[in-house]
Amino acid sequence: MSRDLPLTPEDVADIVAILDGTQYERLDVKTSRFTLRVARSGEGWTQDWDWTADAQAPAAAIAVDAATEPAGAGDVEGLTSIRPPLPGTFYRAPQPGAPVFVEVGDRVTEETVIGIVETMKLMNPAHAGCAGTIEAILVENGTLIGGDAVLMRVRPD
């Protein structure tokens, strides 16, 4: 295995571009091969790297500063929390200007697409994962989310 960095400068620039449109102050990415911290510093961003060229295949973990998780993100008795399939930027509509996938009061099934999560330029559908009625939408369109964020709450059938 070479001593090359596991991410290119362009990869880091893409991460910073995503973070620029959010309220987040810091993003930590850690795998078995490297650790990357990107933090807001005044009008710009700083980055810190630590990497190992001898590690096995990476097991990725992405952490968003806990203070920036959406308010009310805990579980609520009687409601099912919908969480994203992975961290990234959450979009409520398939493209800008298009109608949103779901609204409060809409009925969903396990396979209903409730949004899209963009991670590393890949669009991943977010499914409801349960049947019921949307009671609350907790994340705004275009918000950077952690993998454990609560996107919506559903009152089960």
Within this chain, do residues 37 and 86 fall inside the same structural domain, yes or no? no
Write out the DSSP string of 75-132: --TT-EEE--SSSEEEESSSSTTSPPS--TT-EE-TT-EEEEEEETTEEEEEE--S-E
CATH number at residue 84: 2.40.50.100
Within this chain, do residues 100 and 51 fall inside the same structural domain, yes or no? no
Instruction: Decide if 2 is inside a domain.
Output: no
Report phi then psi at 13, rounded to 5.
Answer: -60, -40
What pLDDT does residue 130 have?
94
Q: How many C-beta atoms surround the C-beta of residue 101 within 10 A?
A: 19
Domain count, the chain: 2
Instruction: Decide if 3 is inside a domain.
Output: no
What pLDDT does residue 135 have?
95
Instruction: Decide if 29 is inside a domain.
Output: yes
In this structure, the dihedral spanned by the alpha carbons of residues 51, 53, 58 and 59, taken in order and rounded to 10 degrees, is -50
What's the domain range around 22? 9-67
What pLDDT does residue 91 have?
92
Provide CB contacts within 8 A for 57, sequence distance 6+: 32
Instruction: Decide if 128 is inside a domain.
Output: yes
Within this chain, do residues 134 and 85 fall inside the same structural domain, yes or no? yes
Boundary-marking domain end, from 19, 34, 67:
67
Within this chain, do residues 51 and 76 fall inside the same structural domain, yes or no? no
What pLDDT does residue 16 have?
74
* pTM for this predicted structure: 0.55
How do the pLDDT tens digits run along the chain, 157 residues long?
344 556 677 777 777 777 777 777 777 777 777 777 777 766 666 666 565 555 444 444 444 443 344 444 456 788 999 999 888 889 999 988 899 999 999 999 999 999 999 887 788 899 999 999 999 999 988 888 887 889 999 999 8
Q: pLDDT tens for residues 80-108?
A: 999 998 888 899 999 888 999 999 999 99
Within this chain, do residues 77 and 130 fall inside the same structural domain, yes or no? yes
Instruction: Decide if 28 is inside a domain.
Output: yes
Token code pair at residue 91: 């979009």
Q: pLDDT tens for residues 45-55?
A: 666 656 555 54
Boundary-marking domain end, from 67, 84, 99:
67
Instruction: Decide if 4 is inside a domain.
Output: no
Within this chain, do residues 46 and 87 fall inside the same structural domain, yes or no? no
